[in-house]
Chains A and B, each alone.
Chain A
């Protein structure tokens, strides 16, 4: 074989996944779309009592957003229904449009995890998991689902996880960062145990209605504050997981934090490390510096992409977090969506791109 021929031979076969989107929000055309998956009792209940969460307004988010349905103005399906409710349009505009090989559904509608009625919570969780299968996972092989698990009722959450675990179209367990108590607390540990036993990662997507004020400083007035407050919430959950010793108990547990961005992570790790160095004796079960658990057990999706000025400052952040910890996401169809073609305004090497846009998710979800 000549030298030229050797050099031209491809090094490896084309990767199975080039672009994985770790955050797509599916929706119902109308609330009644969930009915086939609910018993009559719960259809009646929703038609009368409705949802019952730990917040003032019953039908809407606490802070109105700047656009209808929190969504991109151009994402309303021509055939009708709210953004994310029409599979053909989702395919056309998003999956086909951007060349997405795999998209992970993060259903937020109905707020199953935030329902105060414990039986409604479970009924909705089961229904939404079934709905994901019926409407999206069956007809569209590029889509994967998240198991809604009712964290306030760990026994029911575990039962639902066990029920779904063998369906490999569910890639992860979805828990809300805002809960009644920080999720690291021991009463939630059966959920982590179930996750690890089934080799399922846990995803924490912004939101949840835990019944606490949206920031530690109190209830913010404006959406700019509420939007940002999700970062501080994630910080609190991470601290809880680490300081409660979840990763000592479950070293194999993998978690992702979704839709919170990521540039806050390094400084938060430094903060936890410094506090831990002074106060280790309060938490002797935390055997290593917090940032080590952060580095080993936790991943972050990239959206909303951070935009420093100058853009090159992001390079430090990427170096500090590790480009192996980031997984690309669009948050389609929400307004602060990131387009994979233009999201990164700093240069990435080919390896970094491959890792962030698919490779890290492949590892995280165990797709290899």
Chain B
């Protein structure tokens, strides 16, 4: 793996993203509350540019009518179909749990965390070197 300088730290404000090209790859670079993350730009669903997606929080609920918004700005919604990806891990929310639930298995916990699923955006290690954002590919 090689380290590539992709941007100056002050080029990308918190809550913003940009497209950088590194070693022939399109990478979406995100500034999440001062921390930088890099994921492959191409949405694994149908190829949209994740760097153009809205950075949003995680909407959750314990029961109908209740709404909880946490992790502000830590998810990116694909600019096309709106699939949500955790910027830190590249994992998509909203995918089927791997095991099929059997009929009338009411022991399935309600209000459980969303299953993280097979759709995953590739992530790359990011570090800050003085004033520069560095991505390892």
Using a CB–CB cutoff of 8 Å, the interface residues on chain A facing chain B are 66-67, 72-74, 309, 335-339, 341-343
Report whether B82 and A67 are in contact in the complex, using a CB–CB cutoff of 8 Å: yes
Report whether B80 and A342 are in contact in the complex, using a CB–CB cutoff of 8 Å: no
A339: which B residues are within 8 A, CB to CB? 46-48
A307's nearest neighbour on chain B, judged by CB, is B45
Answer yes or no: B15 CB below 8 A from chain A CBs: no
Report whether A342 and B79 are in contact in the complex, using a CB–CB cutoff of 8 Å: no
Answer yes or no: B52 CB below 8 A from chain A CBs: yes
A67: which B residues are within 8 A, CB to CB? 54, 82
Write the nearest CB–CB distance from B42 to chain A, whole angstroms: 10
The verdict on A335 contacting B82 (CB below 8 Å), with A73-B54, A74-B52 known, is: yes
Bound Cα distance from A338 to B45, whole angstroms: 11
Write the nearest CB–CB distance from B130 to chain A, whole angstroms: 32
B48: which A residues are within 8 A, CB to CB? 72, 74, 339
Write the nearest CB–CB distance from A314 to chain B, whole angstroms: 15
Main secondary structure of the interface of B (DSSP, over half): loop
Answer yes or no: B98 CB below 8 A from chain A CBs: no
Contact of A337 among B52, B53, B80, B96 (CB under 8 A): B80
B46: which A residues are within 8 A, CB to CB? 338-339, 342-343
Answer yes or no: B26 CB below 8 A from chain A CBs: no
Main secondary structure of the interface of A (DSSP, over half): loop
Answer yes or no: B136 CB below 8 A from chain A CBs: no
Write the nearest CB–CB distance from B49 to chain A, whole angstroms: 6
Write the nearest CB–CB distance from B110 to chain A, whole angstroms: 19
Report whether A342 and B82 are in contact in the complex, using a CB–CB cutoff of 8 Å: no
Answer yes or no: B102 CB below 8 A from chain A CBs: no
Answer yes or no: B81 CB below 8 A from chain A CBs: yes
Bound Cα distance from A339 to B54, whole angstroms: 20
Interface residues of B in 2-56 (CB under 8 A from A): 46-49, 52-54
Write the nearest CB–CB distance from A89 to chain B, whole angstroms: 14
A343's nearest neighbour on chain B, judged by CB, is B46
Report whether B47 and A74 are in contact in the complex, using a CB–CB cutoff of 8 Å: no
Given contacts A66-B82, A339-B46, list 6 more A-B pairs with CB under 8 A. Answer: A73-B53, A73-B54, A74-B49, A309-B96, A338-B46, A339-B48
A335: which B residues are within 8 A, CB to CB? 80-82
B96's nearest neighbour on chain A, judged by CB, is A309
Write the nearest CB–CB distance from B86 to chain A, whole angstroms: 18
Report 15 cross-chain contacts, Cβ distance below 8 Å, ordered by A residue.
Answer: A67-B54, A67-B82, A73-B77, A73-B79, A73-B80, A74-B79, A74-B80, A335-B80, A335-B81, A336-B80, A336-B81, A337-B80, A339-B47, A339-B48, A342-B47
Give me the 10 closest cross-chain CB pairs, A-B, nearest first: A73-B79, A74-B52, A74-B79, A342-B46, A342-B47, A72-B80, A66-B82, A339-B46, A337-B80, A72-B79
